[in-house]
Chains A and B, each alone.
Chain A
Amino acid sequence: MEPKETPFATKIERFRPILLTLAEAMISPLLRRDLEASDLVQQTLMEAHQHADKLADMESKIFYSWLRTCLKHNLLDTVKRLTTQKQDVRRHYIASDLADSFDRLDKVLVADQTSPSQIVQRNEQVSILLQHLQDLPPNQRTAVIMKHLRGYSLRDIAESLGLTEPAVAGLLHRGRQHLVAAMETRGQD
């Protein structure tokens, strides 16, 4: 018999797809062979469970920030371990870039330059996008992440995935259709 889910476990699980997309977007093609986004997210969520007493009453926004920081540390630790194992100079560069990326991500998600309501709305949309990306089939998801979250060109995506450009364009189009449909349905709820 499966154990009954506690409210905290539900709270944590809501962030799993978001963190997964973030981790997938963070892991560059260079690291993809050595790193598994789902492992990192699993480790992050396990740590959240371990700190349940501290995190249970935390406001959702702060909890999300905590999770991102935890994911960041896990990702950086793994990258550093790989660097030491493989003595790869390029990875040193990646580790510092990754840390910068997380810092910038934090700034974007908490920025208070426009009105707070706009920020809340935008962050909400970003979270929904990140969450629904996990509902896409893997190839569509990878293509959309590479295109919209990492800014790759059609040719670069095709090269990286070993597909033709029309095939990637098809993946992108269908991926966007699914995403927008999911977001619009959610908007109507």
Chain B
Amino acid sequence: MASLFDEQPGPSDENLAELERWIESNLDALDSSQTHKLLLNWGSIEEHKRLFQMVDEIAAPIRTALCSTESPPLLAEYGELDEIGRGGMGVVYRAKHVKTQRTDAIKVIRPDRLASLAPERMMQLRYRFEQETRLAAQVAHEHIVPVYQVGEADGRTWFSMLLVDGPTLHECSVEKSLRPEQIAKIMECIARAIDAVHRRGILHGDIKPQNILIEREGNRPLISDFGLAEFDTISQDGQSPNVAGTPAYMAPELANAALSETVSDNVASIRSVASDIYSLGATLWSALAGCSPCFEGRNQKQQLADVVTRNVRFAQKQNFGLPMGLERICQKCLELEPSARYNSAAEVADELAAWLSRPTWNRHFPGLRKLLITVVAPVLAMSGILVSTLLQMNVQEALIWLAMFWGYGPLFATFYASQRASRATDPARRELWSIWIGHFCASIACLISCRILAQADTIRTVAAFYPCWAAISSVTFFAKSGNFWISYRWLGVAWSVVALILTIDPLVSPVIFGGFAAITCLVTARGDPSFDEQ
């Protein structure tokens, strides 16, 4: 630029061309001290600079909007950038790192998304993004997409990260290519990753199925886009609210703040562990149901209002066929009141792990349900009729007791068979055996006691025993409702009622008992989710 200093003042076209070129390569330095040095040497530069800046400042947003063919930024560390995806916020490229020869994903924040912002707000966003990305990069976790580098090129913020070869959870859920168990496993891993960053004081802010990637090889789930939520505050349709995140997965308290047009920073301060947990729940629900929590055809503002007023799919009566255990976990994450949700992402992960280790008898023993319906239930019903008949025929007492306890035979045989076929976890299997052996032992003890108290009178023994037997069954089903199917508690209640009914007529008691045992068997086979998940 020495020639600029040597030239005599005067706006000759050559001078102007040189000045134009200088501005092109030093646009950022227009206000620097170097400019002042130039000013001293050439009077017209000030006027030229003023004109240039005035026109350029007004034209800048239009230029950013019109320059649709954005060429990728030139990054010294990387070779040629190959566009692989384009989202609302950024463009993703594939590129080879020059030194390591590793192929990375490069995400570049789309400049047009920033065009409408005031410079200070843009700086603030960039600063926060870089800060959060750097913090997240420090948390090395096998389920977080590692961020390698954050930088700025040609005025565009970019970062490089692991290139994950595989679909997003969103794509998988739309195609319905995952079983609930696989989704639960993925979400357990993600919840553990989120817990790891929460413990470092970092919030994700935009957990959604689109941000969860599943490696094709090994099916490892990874969560990406930490600290990017803020960029989504930038208006997409001119009606967008001033808030970070995706409305459909956003906690109601955030949606409410966004609707009340609280400034973005205040909304960001409402973000909490509880709001991330809500997003985890909404993501789990959406992956299982295969659709967004919000209804179609709603703009962002309407979706926010829907989240606040619970006009969302998971709050409707419609049955999306979610496994009951997982639906319970979703509902607790999606509580309106933040304090009613899980306390930490680790709790969500633990609940999902517990659900995954629940007994799933039918998966490994496909005929079990059929066996309960076609063999065990009829045997129980018939044993009742048989006992009643034998009582009226005055046969040997031992035959009556044998007919009474005959039902335990197919029951235990089924347990035994399912145990051999099932890979249900040991604690669940042990619990089931304990409960039913306990039922059997208590019944025998009760029968002996009743017989002693009834002074060996068969009818009186039967009359006293059946209500006690029903009461023992009631306790059994209450116990089972704890770790197995929650509705077993209603069977427990029903058995207590049956215990009262059984006091009416000792000769009909065996029929009622057998009949209700058969009904219980049918209800279990039909209702207990551990029998129907394939």
Contact = CB atoms under 8 A, between A and B. Distances in A.
Contact of B51 (A26, A126, A150, A177): A177
Interface string B6-32: 000001111011011100100000000
Contacts of B236: 107
Contact of A108 (B19, B24, B116, B118): B116
A112 interface: yes
A151 interface: yes
Contact of B54 (A98, A101, A180): A180
A166 B116 contact: no
Nearest to B44: A173
Nearest to A166: B13
Interface stretch (B65-73, B93-101, B511-519): B65-73
A169 B61 contact: no
A141 to B, nearest CB: 12
A169 B115 contact: no
A168 B61 CA distance: 23
A70 interface: no
Contacts of B235: 107, 110-113
Given A113-B117, A149-B62, A154-B24, A169 B16 contact: yes
Nearest to A179: B55
B48 interface: yes
Contacts of B52: 176
B56 interface: yes
A130 B52 CA distance: 16
Given A113-B117, A166-B13, A148 B68 contact: no
A97 B14 CA distance: 36
A101 B116 CA distance: 14
Contact of B61 (A108, A177, A180): A108
Interface in A137-189: 144, 148-151, 153-154, 165-170, 172-173, 176-177, 179-180, 183
B195 interface: no
B68 A166 contact: no
B443 interface: no
B434 to A, nearest CB: 63
A105 B66 CA distance: 7
A149 B21 CA distance: 17
Given A113-B235, A176-B55, A104 B20 contact: no
A172 B16 contact: yes
A179 B237 CA distance: 31
A36 interface: no
B352 interface: no
Nearest to A183: B54
Nearest to A65: B238
A135 interface: no
Nearest to A96: B68
Contact of A149 (B17, B48, B66, B68): B66
A104 B64 contact: yes
A32 to B, nearest CB: 15
Interface string A111-141: 1111000100010011001100000000000
A177 B48 CA distance: 9
B55 A113 contact: no
Contacts of B117: 113-114
B118 A118 contact: yes
Given A98-B68, A169-B17, A169-B20, A149 B59 contact: yes
A25 interface: yes
Contact of B55 (A104, A110, A148, A168): A148
A186 to B, nearest CB: 13
A106 interface: yes
Interface string B148-190: 0000000000000000000000000000000000000000000
B234 interface: yes
Nearest to B59: A148
Contacts of A26: 66
B112 interface: yes
A101 B121 contact: no
A143 to B, nearest CB: 10
B224 interface: no
Contact of A173 (B11, B59, B234, B238): B11
B55 A180 contact: yes
Nearest to B18: A169
A166 B17 contact: yes
B65 A126 contact: no
A114 B13 contact: no
Interface string A74-115: 000000000000000000000001101100111110111110
A130 B50 CA distance: 19
A104 B65 contact: yes
Most chain-A CB neighbours within 10 Å: which of B12, B235, B238, B239?
B238
Contacts of B16: 166, 169-170, 172-173
B476 interface: no
Nearest to B238: A110
B279 interface: no
B17 A154 contact: yes
B62 A108 contact: yes
Contacts of B118: 113-114, 118
Contacts of A151: 63, 67
Most chain-B CB neighbours within 10 Å: which of A26, A111, A154?
A111
A30 to B, nearest CB: 11
Contacts of A170: 13, 16
A65 B64 CA distance: 18
B58 interface: yes
Given A113-B117, A150-B63, A168-B17, A104 B48 contact: no
B362 interface: no
A173 B115 CA distance: 25
A97 B68 contact: yes
A64 to B, nearest CB: 13
B474 interface: no
A101 B65 CA distance: 6
B14 A180 contact: no
B242 interface: yes
Contact of A126 (B58, B68, B121): B58
A113 B240 CA distance: 9
* A-B residue pairs, 9 tightest by C-beta: A111-B116, A110-B238, A166-B13, A169-B17, A169-B16, A148-B59, A104-B65, A97-B68, A170-B13
Given A108-B65, A114-B116, A176-B51, 7 more contacts: A26-B66, A105-B62, A108-B62, A108-B115, A126-B61, A144-B55, A148-B56
7 contacts: A113-B235, A114-B116, A126-B62, A148-B56, A154-B20, A165-B20, A183-B54
